[in-house]
Structure 1
Amino acid sequence: MTACFVLSSSPSKTITQHSTQLFSSSGLVDIQAISRDTPGSSYDLLLDWLRAKGATVNDNLCFQPSSRGGGYGAFVTDNVAKGEILVEIPRSACVTLDNVKNDPDSGEVFQKLMTQAGPGGNTVALAGILAKKRLVALAKGSEAIEYGPYFDTLPWERGINSQEHMLFWSDEDVDTFMKGTMCYSEAKSLREEVDLAISVLNKIIGKSILTARGELSETDSGFNFPWDPKPEPLKQIIDGLPEAVRGAFVCLLTRAFQDGDDDDEDAEKLVPWLDMLQHSDEPNIRHAMRKDDGTVEVRAGRDLQAGEELFNQYRSEKDETMPYHRFFTRYGFVPGIEENIADLLKDKSSIFVAQKAEV
């Protein structure tokens, strides 16, 4: 494996979308024509699945449409005291690099990828296992994969829960709306990394996906003689893989938490339930991972009143390495902004374009 990746994702959560319109190659369209919320029943199934996995879930929790942007958020139905446990999520319910390494079909190749592909190799491998499970679920049903109820709540496509990450944009839209802004270079770089990952991952997980679809037998090597009119399946990008990989990267860029010690910055994981909380620079929850068994504890960060929505802090808005334009590139939103993002980009807002100092 000679590919080298430099992409790495930041500890984060689900994205908040304040815009009321989405982009298209032909211009702006009404978000209502594209946006589609994940049904609330899917979140109830997620809670049932978490409990079956051994999670502790406070009885005073529910899901409702979020007060910030599209999609759902987590709320408390009764008063909750500071420090009270909201959820305890066992490591077995999280998606970690263990899932990558232990994959029966591709684990060995994934480990070589993580060793040889540079600091972004872990992210690419995680994206690969997410994309594989997603496509297997589409072929066989969500019940066919271990994380089915969780995967059913993730933003795999543009418009789900008002999801508007730039990885879902066309090249034309990126150039039209972002060229000349401070986020253009990073956006182009991330998109190029994802395109490279699609090519690499096609070779690693392609056979498993074709087998799940019944297009390839489990004993088929994928080789064909030159006179066989049927093309070798893995010499071309299989249907649906680019979309699944892009969706997987969006999930990781917007939701992944650091996994392990601070000096292991490239180790990341997805934490069901916790990763759907909306962002606030004044979060009302706190979370930590137990060192003994990897369980993630989420507690009330202060006294909570009945009806309050729960908020996590993705990154501090005062962090000099995370200016507002980078919030948009990484997470798909700009904190506190209610205006349409397209208008801000078109108008060369100071959020996205460096302004010349007046003399």
Structure 2
Amino acid sequence: MEDWLNESGAAGLNDLELAEFPVTGRGVRTRRRFQQGERILTIPGDSLWTVEHADSDPLLGPVLRSVQPPLSVEDTLAVYLLFVRLREHGYEGPRSHVAAMPARYSSSIFFNEDELEVCAGTSLYTITKQLEERIEDDYRVLVMRVFTQHPDLLPLAKISIQDYKWALCTVWSRAMDFVLPNGKPLRVLAPFADMINHSPEVKQCHAYDPSSGNLSVLAGKDYEIGDQIYISYGSIPNNRLLRLYGFVIPENPNDSYDLVLSTHPMAPFYEQKQKLWASAGLDSASTIPLTLIDPLPKSVLRYLRIQRLDASDLAAIALQKLDTNEKISNSKEVEILQFLVESISALLDGFNTPFEKLQKQLAKGVYPLGGNAWAAAHVSLSEQRVLMLAKKRAENLLEAVESGSGNERSLLSPLARCVNCGKDSVPLMLCGRCKGVRYCGRACQVAHHKEHKVICQAMAKMR
């Protein structure tokens, strides 16, 4: 692969080498020092895998262009990969790249039932089940529309659904996405550059040049000789990392839970409420991420306030006497917060293994380190941790509304009060590590340490 890329005009390969690393497996190692921001690698545009290159291929291109409606970007690239992998002659450069790719992946779509069951109750579990059904449907469509129509190029006997899943995972885990100056998205697979692993400690350091069509990788930090170099896939939670890339980061600072809120179209005043949701940047079916930093976003409360508006509320809003950014009334706010506490409790009850039990199982080595079940367990921990924080925030808000203390706003603004006892009329000290919460004294800081520890680490890493 390196010889092909050098002949194609790649730059920087002589300063890098593929190597095996203890935790990440295969990656890219430096042969010299690099300073942050220095260009490490450039892959020429002609060597990239793109939809445009697939469509212009002399053999595969006519096949792809004849399919109506056109295949999706990921299916086009997946078919392109399978086509090249099946070639016995020609395509030496791309074939050398395919040969360097993993023969198998650890994405959740390859988990067996027992491994996937470890994360039952998570969004990953639900999405993986849905993906498996969608992949089967898409494979059947490809069989009918492409493979059986062109057996000389894409013989069905050599393209099983497992092969198709391999190609999809190759696209999901190795492709890079960019937005061109004209606003159009571009997805590319870059030989050798796709061997560079992810680290949350570096910022995005890969770029596509539309004028030349080349892809470059810059040093996201200073590197010494023999260091592994990294790129950033972005701020991605564990459930998405495992689904797309096949790995997790224990205590990932970007962990989240996607809360789905929806309202039936036959609900009272649906059209008026739909307009209010739209003005708030929401929809009648909204997916709102709950995170370690903000486990109960204001948008969740705003959605539910709009959902519960009655005729008099809507009239008051029309007269600008009510604002869904604030509570409509104490009774309705109590109803909303009780609903949240009960709903989040039900979500937590739906996990296959409760948080504390799962922690103990991981500590005892019940799940082999680095294995599929171990990764699934960490996804379950991640989502349960976020939901527990969201439930605690909802309970605190509910207590404030029911007591009439008027502290609801401060509870949604953690810097305005002691995060442990809620005091806001005394001098407060800032957490020295994460700078994200305040305490009224050392006693509250110590009492809150166990609950705050994970969030503190997450916030500190993001600073």
Name the TM-score class by shorter chain.
0.5 to 0.7
Report Cα offsets for 1:155-194 as digits up to 9, x if no partner.
242xxxxx31122234x34663443222112112222222
Is 1:78 the counterpart of 2:32 in the alignment? yes
Give the C-alpha shift of residue 306 in structure 1.
1.4
Give the C-alpha shift of residue 113 in structure 1.
5.1
Report Cα offsets for 1:107-153 as digits up to 9, x if no partner.
34534658556xxx1111111111222233xxx26x55540111111
Which residue of structure 1 lines up, in the alignment, with residue 134 of structure 2? 193
Is 1:154 the counterpart of 2:101 in the alignment? yes
Q: TM-score, normalised by structure 2?
A: 0.52
Q: Is the 8 A contact 1:283 1:312 kept in 2?
A: yes
Report the CA distance shift for 1:202/1:339 in structure 2 as closer, same or farther (over 3 A): closer
- Amino acid of the residue matched to residue 65 of structure 1? E
Which residue of structure 1 lines up, in the alignment, with residue 224 of structure 2? 305
Report the CA distance shift for 1:152/1:348 in structure 2 as closer, same or farther (over 3 A): closer
Greater displacement, 301-310 / 121-130: 301-310
What secondary structure does 1:64 align onto?
strand
Report Cα offsets for 1:233-266 as digits up to 9, x if no partner.
xxxx53433222111111111111114427323x
Report Cα offsets for 1:291-322 as digits up to 9, x if no partner.
21111122223332112110111122xxxxx4
Find the aligned partners of 1:345 and 1:299 in 2 and give their Cα distance: 32
Which structure's residues are more often helix, by fraction? 2
Which of 20, 26, 51 lines up with 1:65 in the alignment?
20
- Amino acid of the residue matched to residue 188 of structure 2? K
What secondary structure does 2:223 align onto?
coil
Which residue of structure 1 lines up, in the alignment, with residue 210 of structure 2? 291
Q: Is the 8 A contact 1:54 1:89 kept in 2?
A: yes
Find the aligned partners of 1:168 and 1:254 in 2 and give their Cα distance: 14
- Amino acid of the residue matched to residue 264 of structure 1? K
Is 1:342 the counterpart of 2:284 in the alignment? no
What secondary structure does 1:243 align onto?
helix
Find the aligned partners of 2:102 and 2:149 in 1 and give their Cα distance: 23
Report the CA distance shift for 1:208/1:79 in structure 2 as closer, same or farther (over 3 A): farther
What secondary structure does 2:40 align onto?
strand
Q: Sequence identity, in percent?
A: 23
Which of 106, 113, 117 lines up with 1:164 in the alignment?
106
Which residue of structure 2 lines up, in the alignment, with residue 53 of structure 1? 8
Find the aligned partners of 2:12 and 2:145 in 1 and give their Cα distance: 37
Q: Is the 8 A contact 1:202 1:241 kept in 2?
A: no
Find the aligned partners of 2:130 and 2:68 in 1 and give their Cα distance: 20
Is 1:270 the counterpart of 2:186 in the alignment? no
Which residue of structure 1 lines up, in the alignment, with residue 365 of structure 2? none
Report the CA distance shift for 1:335/1:176 in structure 2 as closer, same or farther (over 3 A): closer
Q: Is the 8 A contact 1:278 1:310 kept in 2?
A: yes
Which residue of structure 2 lines up, in the alignment, with residue 250 of structure 1? 169
Q: Is the 8 A contact 2:248 2:375 kept in 1?
A: no
Give the C-alpha shift of residue 280 in structure 1.
0.5
Report the CA distance shift for 1:285/1:305 in structure 2 as closer, same or farther (over 3 A): farther
- Segments of 5+ residues of structure 1 without an aligned counterpart are 1-45, 158-162, 216-236, 317-321
RMSD: 3.1
What secondary structure does 2:218 align onto?
strand
Query: Where in structure 2 are the equivalents of 1:312-327 lying within 5 Å?
Result: 312-316=231-235, 322-327=236-241
Q: Which has the larger radius of gyration?
A: 2
Is 1:91 the counterpart of 2:45 in the alignment? yes
Which residue of structure 2 lines up, in the alignment, with residue 132 of structure 1? 83
Q: Is the 8 A contact 2:36 2:218 kept in 1?
A: yes
- Segments of 5+ residues of structure 2 without an aligned counterpart are 252-368, 396-463
Find the aligned partners of 1:156 and 1:73 in 2 and give their Cα distance: 15
Q: Is the 8 A contact 2:64 2:76 kept in 1?
A: yes
Give the C-alpha shift of residue 336 in structure 1.
3.9
- Amino acid of the residue matched to residue 44 of structure 2? P
Find the aligned partners of 1:346 and 1:270 in 2 and give their Cα distance: 30
